[in-house]
Structure 1
Amino acid sequence: MFTGIIETLGEVIDVVNEGTNRHYTIKSAISNELKIDQSVAHNGVCLTVVALTADTHTVTAIEETLQKTNLNELEKGKRVNLERCMQMNGRLDGHIVQGHVDQTAVCVKRAVLDGSWEYRFKYDAEKGNVTVEKGSVCVNGISLTVVGSKDDEFSVFIIPYTFEHTNLQEVNVGDTVNIEFDIIGKYVARLIGK
């Protein structure tokens, strides 16, 4: 369980393919605090730490994960949003995030405003996911508030702190991001659909 509040950015320093799996080695400020078998969200994708060095950690993404997320686009030198799992005695500053990406979306608008940024994302509505105005959505692991909700797209507005401390600053029109829709909204949509 995560909150969507990014702790730090990591840098991909190695990518190794093994069969249909891909192993990512990440250098970050929190790598030295991690443990083998710990869950860490990478761009919103919950992955298990499988190896450690003094300042790096390695995680493995299987074919299913690579097909449903943007992790297959990660390469050496790319930055990735990192969040360790939530502590049960802490505040839930973002929203309830499982680290299970529902699908990807494409950035169709990036606008610099006076003191903030607007991003608009388009997704495949046929997969049954929905957003609601002022509801929550997780983009690349970042807990954000939905504005301009439509059947197949939505916008988010980004404050300077989030822009500076996440990899959203590197997302441009045409780029793919990971989307985890609000868990409560998913349950409600499924119940209504039945």
Structure 2
Amino acid sequence: MFTGIIEATGTITQLTHRGEDIRLTVDTGKLDMSDVELGDSIATNGVCLTVVDFSSGHYSADVSAETIRYTGFADYQVGSRVNLEKAMLPTTRFGGHIVSGHVDGVGTVSAIHEHSNYVEVWVQAPDELAKYIAHKGSITVDGVSLTVNKVDGATFMLWLIPHTLQETIIGTYKVGTKVNLEVDVVARYLERLLQGDQAAQPHKKDISMEFLAKHGFAKR
């Protein structure tokens, strides 16, 4: 579990392909590794990865084909910078929001506007995530806990202060940059809860006449 408050930025120094998976090595920069142990979790651009090797200045983790498929890791290269956050402790200040490190999809930076004391960034999210993104709600972008300031369909806007731009990789974003998105986990649970008893029923992909009639698209 994480909070979305980035502790450091790191740099990918090695990518080793192992079949469909990748062994990733990250230079951790100023991240304090003194309390890290094998098996610990480190959010890397918002993706929860398990430490399989480490030193005072690096860690390695295995990235599965499933993770590569649903995150921006497919485009990462040696030299790519990443946001880093170690898993939270019970005594950690909860400055962000609940972040699981399970990315829901990849968005695209669609516009950037610079203002006198902040930068306005617009992100195009996958259509299927639009229902989870709410005005003044929380969203995780490349591991950073942020507040949604405006929503227009599946596109949302962020106001970013200089500190966030300096302490994360967001300051390097350009139009077209791909970003990992994790929606607020509370929205996920609420969606499931609202299904009530129907949540126990197997998901049916086929659309029947009964289904259409029930939802007002056909006459019984």
Same fold (TM over 0.5): yes
The letter for the 2-side match of 1:183 is: V
Per the alignment, in what secondary structure is the counterpart of residue 150 of structure 2? coil
Paired residues of 1:47 and 1:60 also in contact (CA < 8 A):
yes
Following superposition, the deviation at residue 191 of structure 1 comes to: 3.6
CA distance in 1 between counterparts of 2:187 and 2:101 reads 16
2:132 aligned to which of 117, 130, 145: 130
Paired residues of 2:129 and 2:154 also in contact (CA < 8 A):
no
Following superposition, the deviation at residue 74 of structure 1 comes to: 1.5
How many residues are paired up?
A: 194
Q: 1:191 to 1:54 in 2, by over 3 A?
A: closer
CA distance in 2 between counterparts of 1:87 and 1:73 reads 31
Q: Does 1:159 find its partner at 2:164?
A: no
Which 5+ residue runs of structure 1 have no aligned equivalent?
none
Q: After superposing the two structures, state which structure 1 stretch, 8-17 or 32-41, moved more.
A: 32-41
Query: In structure 1, what is the equivalent of residue 31 of structure 2?
Result: 30
Following superposition, the deviation at residue 66 of structure 1 comes to: 0.4
CA distance in 1 between counterparts of 2:19 and 2:4 reads 31
Paired residues of 1:10 and 1:27 also in contact (CA < 8 A):
yes
Matches within 5 A, 1:136-155: 136-155=138-157
Matches within 5 A, 1:40-59: 40-59=42-61
Following superposition, the deviation at residue 170 of structure 1 comes to: 1.4
> Could you report, residue by residue, the CA deviation over 1:55-105 in whole angstroms, capped at 9, with x for unpaired residues?
211011100000110012221111100000111122210000000000110
Query: In structure 2, what is the equivalent of residue 115 of structure 1?
Result: 117
Q: 1:143 to 1:74 in 2, by over 3 A?
A: same
CA distance in 2 between counterparts of 1:139 and 1:129 reads 17
Query: In structure 2, what is the equivalent of residue 4 of structure 1?
Result: 4
Following superposition, the deviation at residue 114 of structure 1 comes to: 0.9
The letter for the 2-side match of 1:154 is: F
1:89 aligned to which of 83, 88, 91: 91
Following superposition, the deviation at residue 164 of structure 1 comes to: 0.5
Structure ranking higher on relative contact order (CA contacts 8 Å, 6+ apart): 1
Query: In structure 2, what is the equivalent of residue 39 of structure 1?
Result: 41
Following superposition, the deviation at residue 173 of structure 1 comes to: 0.7
The letter for the 1-side match of 2:134 is: V
The letter for the 2-side match of 1:89 is: T
Paired residues of 1:31 and 1:52 also in contact (CA < 8 A):
no
Following superposition, the deviation at residue 127 of structure 1 comes to: 5.1
Following superposition, the deviation at residue 129 of structure 1 comes to: 4.6
CA distance in 2 between counterparts of 1:192 and 1:108 reads 33
Which 5+ residue runs of structure 2 have no aligned equivalent?
199-220
The letter for the 1-side match of 2:162 is: P
Per the alignment, in what secondary structure is the counterpart of residue 149 of structure 1? strand
CA distance in 2 between counterparts of 1:129 and 1:96 reads 18
Q: Percent identity?
A: 33
Paired residues of 2:149 and 2:156 also in contact (CA < 8 A):
yes
Q: TM-score, structure 2 length as denominator?
A: 0.83
Following superposition, the deviation at residue 31 of structure 1 comes to: 6.2
